[in-house]
């Protein structure tokens, strides 16, 4: 048995919800949360059927859950139309003329789309897809910039029962080919391009390159966003604006089975070919609807903004399905956070009166690096709630977010979940959960989370182990598309009938969950297993540091030596003194065991395109001196050359 993951970093700061916030929240006391949580675990059928009944079903379910581990069916026998729930339902209510999407393009162009308008747009595009012969269960690949048409295309697919597979607009032609081959999509929805840092991302060109290698795509529908000339292949390529003009704005939506496939979303996986995570209709919608409602405590008058891209699960669940199922108003922004400068996000918040803001630690750390004056120059008083997702948020980054963005008044919901879980699993509820910087706090209703040791025994408080979920939940993935065996092996083979997330975590004496990093990244120093998050958080707590990544290098004596890569705030410069100071700092805050053996000042860290630090590559670099592994998910390949250079200059 391998030793447990140890924890050395103690966090004492506690932030309780403001009584004024609690008073108007759906869940306003910890006692109320605990009672409902207990019920939701003891009788998940009761909890989930009550939540699901707030949605529009065409036919009721005969059974809430059919569970043959690891395969679940939720709301068995029920029928619904997902798009009708997200759009039509509101377009026929008092929300008819309410803004669904407030769009801002990177160049500064703006559009407001009401629910009534969204209904017409989705209907039109559903008619276009049907006219092109797309049928229920056919796969449609969507490769779009962050513009409303991306959501419209997804909803149009849902409306006709087609399965969308969104490919992030930053991916290359080869990534498109892989996803086409795996999903067997026969139609692509794309745009001529999208704006990113003042330049055009050549989406159509990438599609054309992909289609030289894959010949089973019959049609490509192209939205004109940037207006630059693109080549259109006769009989295959169609302009979006020409097609929608030829069809009606009404469309009769069919009802689909609750387990009808809704989408496939590819997640990189640390090695090998991307996994096509399959989500279905009724359970996924119930999960995203319910979590969005309670966790963002959404109000009719809120302006919500999630900065993710629709190409990631966060964009699926918390830009498209969750917010729209709730009839929320949201901001959608096309471009980069630093265009024309690092004030862009804060300007958008000020201009549109954003009240709920949901972003990722990678963005927060980039803002910290850039300097406090950017947010300080804007009026952020419309904000009432902040969220974080995607990586552990280092406590000092949490504090910065709390102070400089939340004005010390906004609760922060640090939400843990995965592409595979479909919806948020561990999170504070803003009206009732005391938060501490760095913890994702407690499980959401119906989520039976625990920390297991290697033998499948639950760990004692503060003992690190593997994060698992013991009961099925509605928005869980149903499989890896076309590969049930891989699904079973990847997520369900550590402990029988139990979901393993692949993350290391611990639970403190109050029941709060602390994610310590991916299990694959855990360091083993002199027999002590250390999660990456704590050492990194210790470094980020130093006033000079913006960002840190920590990996193990094989060491004869210790098993593994601790190697750190740090990026500094704009206001600081690398020096030998700083290097020594940082080593001492980690030694003091965590203990001698975690004291960095090597420390490098890097201009930037290698990240995935969704902003997660790729420790795997750093590990390879410090072990073998070069990187030979798969770098296709890397955001910027230049980072690697710069890292190799910085390693030479700091040693
Ligand atoms: C990590 C993103 C710590 C975690 C929704 C997980 C987090 C992986 C958090 C899933 C968080 C996500 N705190 N770690 N709040 N949120 N993660 O599939 O390692 O892109 O397993 O889904 O991100 O990433 P994915």
Predicted local confidence at residue 151, as pLDDT:
98
pLDDT bracket for residue 58 (50, 70, 90): very high
Q: Point out the ligand 1 atom lying closest to the alpha carbon of residue 314.
A: 5
Q: Point out the ligand 1 atom lying closest to the alpha carbon of residue 610.
A: 20
Mean pLDDT of 611-616: 93
Q: Is the peptide bond before 522 cis (omega within 30 degrees of 0)?
A: no
Expressed in angstroms and rounded, the spacing between residue 489 Cα and the centre of ligand 1 is 20
Expressed in angstroms and rounded, the spacing between residue 418 Cα and the centre of ligand 1 is 5
From the CB of 337, is ligand 1 less than 6 Å away? no
- The string of pLDDT tens digits covering residues 324-375 is 999 999 999 999 999 999 999 999 999 999 999 999 999 999 999 999 999 9
- The string of pLDDT tens digits covering residues 407-427 is 999 999 999 999 999 999 999
Q: How many CB atoms lie within 10 A of CB 441?
A: 22
- The string of pLDDT tens digits covering residues 588-606 is 999 899 999 999 999 999 9
Which residue has the least CA distance to atom 24 on ligand 1? 418
Expressed in angstroms and rounded, the spacing between residue 392 Cα and the centre of ligand 1 is 8
Which residue has the least CA distance to atom 8 on ligand 1? 418
From the CB of 400, is ligand 1 less than 6 Å away? no
Mean pLDDT of 94-107: 98
From the CB of 518, is ligand 1 less than 6 Å away? yes
Q: How many CB atoms lie within 10 A of CB 98?
A: 17
Which residue has the least CA distance to atom 13 on ligand 1? 392
Predicted local confidence at residue 645, as pLDDT:
85
Predicted local confidence at residue 272, as pLDDT:
64
The H-or-E segment that residue 266 falls in is strand 261-267
Expressed in angstroms and rounded, the spacing between residue 96 Cα and the centre of ligand 1 is 35
d(CA 208, CA 227): 17
- Domains of the chain by residue range: 523-649
From the CB of 206, is ligand 1 less than 6 Å away? no
Which residue has the least CA distance to atom 6 on ligand 1? 418
From the CB of 605, is ligand 1 less than 6 Å away? no
Q: Where are the beta strands (DSSP E) in 198-252?
A: 199-201, 219-223, 237-239
The percentage of residues in the chain with a pLDDT greater than 70, rounded to a whole number, is 99
User: Pick the residue with more confidence: 14 or 649?
Assistant: 14
- The string of pLDDT tens digits covering residues 144-186 is 999 999 999 999 999 999 999 999 999 999 999 999 999 999 9
Q: Point out the ligand 1 atom lying closest to the alpha carbon of residue 414.
A: 15
Expressed in angstroms and rounded, the spacing between residue 242 Cα and the centre of ligand 1 is 40
Residue of 291, 292, 417 with the most ligand 1 atoms within 8 Å of its CB, for mutation: 417
Expressed in angstroms and rounded, the spacing between residue 394 Cα and the centre of ligand 1 is 14
From the CB of 610, is ligand 1 less than 6 Å away? yes
pLDDT over threshold 50, residue 135: yes
Predicted local confidence at residue 641, as pLDDT:
84
Which residue has the least CA distance to atom 5 on ligand 1? 418
Predicted local confidence at residue 609, as pLDDT:
86
Expressed in angstroms and rounded, the spacing between residue 276 Cα and the centre of ligand 1 is 17
Q: Token match 């709301």: residue?
A: 75
Name 587's Cβ contacts closer than 8 Å, sequence gap at least 6.
594, 595
Expressed in angstroms and rounded, the spacing between residue 636 Cα and the centre of ligand 1 is 21
DSSP state letter for 608: B
- CA neighbor of 568 nearest in space, from 555, 581, 553: 581
Which residue has the least CA distance to atom 3 on ligand 1? 392
From the CB of 314, is ligand 1 less than 6 Å away? yes
- Span of 556-560, 562-566, 631-635 with lowest mean pLDDT: 631-635
Residue of 389, 415, 506, 536 with the most ligand 1 atoms within 8 Å of its CB, for mutation: 389
Which residue has the least CA distance to atom 11 on ligand 1? 416
From the CB of 275, is ligand 1 less than 6 Å away? no
Across all residues in the chain, what is the average pLDDT? Answer: 95
User: Residues 199, 205, 210, CA angle at the centre, nearest 5°?
Assistant: 135
Q: Point out the ligand 1 atom lying closest to the alpha carbon of residue 392.
A: 3
Expressed in angstroms and rounded, the spacing between residue 229 Cα and the centre of ligand 1 is 39
Map residue 546 onto helix, strand or coil: strand
Expressed in angstroms and rounded, the spacing between residue 299 Cα and the centre of ligand 1 is 26
Which residue has the least CA distance to atom 25 on ligand 1? 418
Mean pLDDT of 432-461: 97
Strands 329-333 and 99-104: parallel
Which residue has the least CA distance to atom 7 on ligand 1? 391
- The string of pLDDT tens digits covering residues 191-234 is 999 999 999 999 999 999 999 999 999 999 999 999 999 999 99
Expressed in angstroms and rounded, the spacing between residue 515 Cα and the centre of ligand 1 is 9
pLDDT over threshold 80, residue 632: no
Expressed in angstroms and rounded, the spacing between residue 508 Cα and the centre of ligand 1 is 19
Predicted local confidence at residue 4, as pLDDT:
84
Predicted local confidence at residue 547, as pLDDT:
96
Name 74's Cβ contacts closer than 8 Å, sequence gap at least 6.
48, 64, 65, 258, 259, 280, 282, 283, 286, 472, 474
Expressed in angstroms and rounded, the spacing between residue 263 Cα and the centre of ligand 1 is 20
Map residue 547 onto helix, strand or coil: strand
- Scored b (16 or more CB within 10 A) or e, 101-120 reads bbbbbbeeeeeebbbbbbbb
From the CB of 414, is ligand 1 less than 6 Å away? yes
Residues in the chain: 651
pLDDT over threshold 90, residue 651: no
Mean pLDDT of 541-552: 96
Mean pLDDT of 310-316: 97
From the CB of 435, is ligand 1 less than 6 Å away? no
Helix H, strand E, coil C: the string for 335-357 is CCCCCCCCCHHHHHHHHHCCCEE
The H-or-E segment that residue 263 falls in is strand 261-267
Q: Point out the ligand 1 atom lying closest to the alpha carbon of residue 312.
A: 20
Structure tokens at 127: 């008619």
Expressed in angstroms and rounded, the spacing between residue 501 Cα and the centre of ligand 1 is 10
pLDDT bracket for residue 639 (50, 70, 90): confident
Mean pLDDT of 577-586: 96
From the CB of 415, is ligand 1 less than 6 Å away? yes
- CA neighbor of 17 nearest in space, from 318, 385, 292, 288: 385
From the CB of 389, is ligand 1 less than 6 Å away? yes
pLDDT bracket for residue 1 (50, 70, 90): very low
Domain 523-649 has CATH 3.30.300.30: yes
Which residue has the least CA distance to atom 14 on ligand 1? 391
Expressed in angstroms and rounded, the spacing between residue 391 Cα and the centre of ligand 1 is 5
Predicted local confidence at residue 2, as pLDDT:
61
The H-or-E segment that residue 358 falls in is strand 356-359
From the CB of 392, is ligand 1 less than 6 Å away? yes
pLDDT bracket for residue 53 (50, 70, 90): very high
Name 188's Cβ contacts closer than 8 Å, sequence gap at least 6.
140, 141, 142, 143, 207, 217, 219, 220, 221
């Amino acid at each position: 048995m391998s030793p447990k993951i140890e924890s050395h970093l103690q966090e004492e700061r506690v932030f309780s919800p403001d009584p004024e916030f609690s008073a108007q929240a759906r869940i306003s006391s910890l006692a109320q949360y605990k009672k409902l949580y207990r019920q939701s675990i003891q009788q998940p059928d009761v909890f989930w059927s009550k939540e699901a009944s707030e949605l529009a079903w065409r036919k009721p379910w005969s059974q809430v859950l059919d569970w043959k581990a690891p395969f679940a069916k939720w709301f068995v026998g029920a029928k619904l139309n997902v798009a009708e729930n997200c759009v039509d339902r509101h377009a026929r209510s008092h929300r008819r003329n309410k803004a669904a999407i407030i769009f801002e393009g990177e160049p500064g162009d703006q559009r407001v789309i009401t629910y009534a308008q969204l209904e017409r747009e989705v209907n039109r595009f559903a008619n276009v897809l049907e006219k092109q012969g797309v049928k229920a269960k056919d796969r449609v690949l969507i490769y779009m910039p962050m513009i409303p048409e991306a959501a419209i295309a997804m909803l149009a697919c849902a409306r006709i029962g087609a399965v969308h597979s969104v490919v992030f607009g930053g991916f290359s032609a080869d990534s498109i080919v892989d996803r086409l081959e795996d999903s067997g999509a026969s139609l692509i929805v794309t745009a001529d391009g999208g704006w990113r840092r003042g330049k055009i991302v050549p989406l159509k060109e990438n599609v054309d390159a992909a289609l030289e290698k894959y010949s089973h795509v019959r049609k490509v529908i192209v939205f004109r966003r940037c207006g630059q000339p693109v080549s259109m292949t006769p009989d295959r390529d169609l302009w979006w604006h020409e097609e929608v003009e030829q069809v009606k704005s009404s469309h009769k939506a069919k009802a689909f089975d609750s387990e009808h496939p809704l989408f496939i979303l590819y997640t990189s996986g640390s090695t090998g070919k991307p996994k096509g995570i399959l989500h279905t209709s009724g359970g996924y919608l119930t999960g995203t609807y319910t979590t969005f409602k309670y966790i963002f405590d959404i109000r009719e008058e809120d302006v919500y903004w999630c900065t993710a891209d629709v190409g990631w699960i966060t964009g699926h669940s918390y830009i498209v399905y969750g917010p729209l199922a709730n009839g929320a108003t949201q901001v959608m922004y096309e471009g980069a956070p630093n265009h024309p400068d690092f004030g862009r996000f804060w300007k958008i918040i000020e201009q549109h009166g954003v009240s709920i803001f949901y972003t990722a630690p990678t963005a927060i750390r980039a803002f910290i690096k850039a300097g406090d004056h950017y947010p300080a120059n804007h009026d952020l008083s419309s904000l009432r709630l902040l969220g974080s997702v995607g990586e552990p948020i280092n406590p000092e980054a949490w504090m910065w977010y709390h102070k400089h963005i939340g004005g010390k008044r906004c609760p922060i919901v640090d939400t843990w979940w995965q592409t595979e879980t479909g919806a948020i699993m561990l999170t504070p509820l803003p009206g009732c959960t005391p938060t501490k910087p760095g913890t994702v706090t407690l499980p959401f209703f119906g989520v039976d989370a625990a920390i297991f040791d290697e033998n499948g025994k639950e760990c004692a408080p503060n003992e690190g182990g593997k994060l698992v979920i013991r009961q099925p939940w509605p928005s869980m993935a149903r499989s890896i598309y076309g590969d049930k065996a891989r699904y079973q092996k990847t997520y369900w083979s550590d402990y029988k009938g139990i979901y393993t997330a692949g993350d290391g975590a611990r639970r403190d004496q109050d029941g709060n969950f602390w994610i310590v990093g991916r299990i694959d990244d855990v360091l083993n120093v002199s027999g002590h297993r250390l999660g990456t998050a704590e050492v990194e958080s210790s470094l980020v707590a130093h006033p000079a540091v913006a960002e840190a990544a920590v990996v193990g290098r094989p060491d004869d004596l210790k098993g593994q030596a601790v190697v750190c890569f740090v990026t500094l705030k704009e206001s600081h410069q690398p020096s030998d003194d700083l290097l020594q100071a940082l080593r001492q700092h980690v030694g003091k805050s965590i203990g001698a065991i975690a004291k960095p053996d090597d420390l490098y000042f890097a201009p930037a860290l290698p990240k995935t395109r969704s902003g997660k630090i790729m420790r795997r590559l750093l590990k390879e670099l410090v072990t073998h001196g070069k990187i030979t592994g798969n770098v296709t998910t890397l955001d910027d390949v230049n980072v690697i050359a710069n890292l190799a250079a910085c390693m030479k200059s700091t040693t």
